[in-house]
Structure 1
Amino acid sequence: MGSIGDWGAGATPAKGNSDYYGGNILWLRTGELNNGVVYDTEIKITEKALQECSLRLNKAGDVLIAMYGATIGKVAIAGNEMTSNQACCACTPFGVFNYYLFYYLMGSQMDFIKKGEGGAQPNISREKLISHLMPIPPLNEQYRIVKQIQKILPLIEMYSASQDTQDKLNAEINEKLKKSILQEAIQGKLVPQIEKEGTAQELLEQIKQEKQKLVKEGKLKKSALTDSVIFKGDDNKYWEKVGKGLRCIDDEIHFEIPASWQWVRIKDIFQINPKNIADDNCISAFIPMEKICATYGSEFSYDEVQWKTIKTGYTHFADGDVVFAKITPCFQNRKSVIFIGLPNGIGAGSTELKVMRPYGETINRWYLLYFLKSPYFIDEAQFKGTANQQRIITGYLENKFFPLPPKSEQDKIVEQIKQLASIMSR
């Protein structure tokens, strides 16, 4: 390459000399090389600096290449007269079209990086540049090559942008599909409605009977029987009745559900954070937060311990309970599971867990779990606390509106989602 031009590096005027800076001569640093044409520089120097610091003044059209550090091999064409720092080498070509040299250097960047030496600050040196072998076609062919490159480059950039968009879509599509499937599921759009399968109102009666049974057994407070009743009035708005109180909640209902479904408050159809009673020496499961996997499924592990070591200071749960993390970012990462197969059917774990226990077999636990992983539950949550330790606000879970389908439809929704396992497990 030394045969096709005049090559020379720049220099850096003494930083402490104010007579050298603030002039009108462009002084380029390698970070400003842009694999295109450079017309301006951030720093300008004076005529005195040019004369006293042995700086080479490059002509407009000269080809520039970085010789040192992270920018090694980056190139540009000088759009105006300019000088440069010592990490940049410039070539005034003769007998070679400057754009042909420019594109050749750009295409050879990896070769120059491989030739770099020097550990933390690799360099290719002027000597290595001028000794580098370069193929030279006839001048007219150089022009044709450059013309073709300039015709193709915009297409490359266009297709590169399209590829970037496609790569981004491919990276996001599985997550978006999972969220979409769960949202469709809890809105009653995933499986067809079949009238003979009953209504959620009938299911609410079963839940009421289960609660009355627990109250009689002394396992549930009588206040749990005071449920709200949510209905759509003649004005086509949603209303909630609690005791003698009645208020419009239309603004709080965010989507429509099938006629056979029912909007309910979570606190009315689940026990929240129930307690276990067991012998002190009973072997049970200890499950800290790190034992719960952040997935769209239900995966966890546990340590076996005696109940007396964890019965206080931890959150209780039992086989069949559905739990989720109430703290960020575990909440958003969907750390929620169904506990099954615990030693002696009981366990305890992180106080950052919320536990939900259906009344009897009225709610398909997988339907509940998918609800907890749905965008409706995750994205609408409100938090309090410091930036690094935020938890869902008190009452968010208990007062959240729950779209309740008939039990048979819950089962079909779960079956349908599990048939999409190839999507949900990715």
Structure 2
Amino acid sequence: MKKRDWKKVKLGEVVDVIMGQAPPGSSYNNEEKGLALIAGAADFGDVYPEPKKYTTESKRDTVEGDILMCIRATIGDLNWSDAVYSAGRGIAVLRTKQNVSRKYLWFWLTAKKDYFLSQGRGATFLQISKKDLTEVFFPLPPLAEQKAIAAQLDRADKLRQALAQSLKDYDRLLAASFLDMFGKGERKYSLADFCEINPKKSEVKGLDENLEVSFLPMGAVSEKGEIDLSTNKTIGEVYKGFTYFKEEDVLFAKITPCMENGKGAVVRGLTNGIGFGSTEFHVLRAKEEVTADWIYGVTASNRFRTIAAHNMKGSGGQKRVPLSFFSDYKVAKPRKEDLSRYTEIAADIKKQKALIQSAQQSAEDLFGSLLQAYFYEGK
């Protein structure tokens, strides 16, 4: 059957849409009493939920095989229900009826994410309603064709997911290598002993104001040590009001939640060796006895981030890691031979990740083209 001949029905006719409901606050606990609570996107994992709290008075339960969809803020994010959970008000539970393939529905929802996001309403945060889900038209080919489409999409999806997992494995390998080399020894030195913190921008004061430099807002720095160097500005545009850094410096996001999420990187490949960026970065410049990779490894470690989180100053969403923390944080002095070896390992892993990222982009493009071929409706 050709796509144009597929029957279209309202989603609510073939899928039960169950809106989550918040349990009483008094029922929440961390002792695993009752059901694990999926309140919203914060409890989503890559594929299955990663709940943080429990409730003894669930108002809406999921069953295994349900599709869980965020309906607030990060509208359209999906997880599979792999057990019975309590569904909070930040999610909708989609449960297929007869003649609907769950995986076919999953991929259709994936393709419609931007549409659902566009339907969001609200002043504090965007949210969609049950009607936004039940009234949308859903393409319904015969069940056998749904399963064939889902199988093809599933193969493409598994390829991109496998490549993404490979990248995570390399990140874990790098972290494990750092811990193995530098996680021992007496922590009696201040981290500030090994780096200059927030170098003065007066270093570049005499340069031509029309000289182009790299510009890195917070969004251009990832949680995995990667940077987006696609934006340049002139020194005259950024000298005032932005943070200065240069080649081989380490950026550390000091504000919540960017700090807790792991944003930071060694900056390499800067235009003319100079960069400016968000004022919410601390800049650490390695002294001669250490390397930028070591400084980044320290600041990217779970230990460092956890302790830093407990030492942030401020309130609410404006908490920041103070400059004094780098003096207070103690480390063991690294051996020169370990520093050299770690730099080699980090460089090798970066090369391998670059190859995987190229393959991953191809896999993402393939998956996207298949979604478009099956579900794009045109104008």
Alignment TM-score, normalising by the size of structure 2: 0.44
Relative to its length, the structure with more helix (as a share) is 2
Query: Which structure is larger by alpha-carbon Rg, 1 or 2?
Result: 1
Structure with greater contact order relative to length (CA < 8 Å, sep ≥ 6) = 2
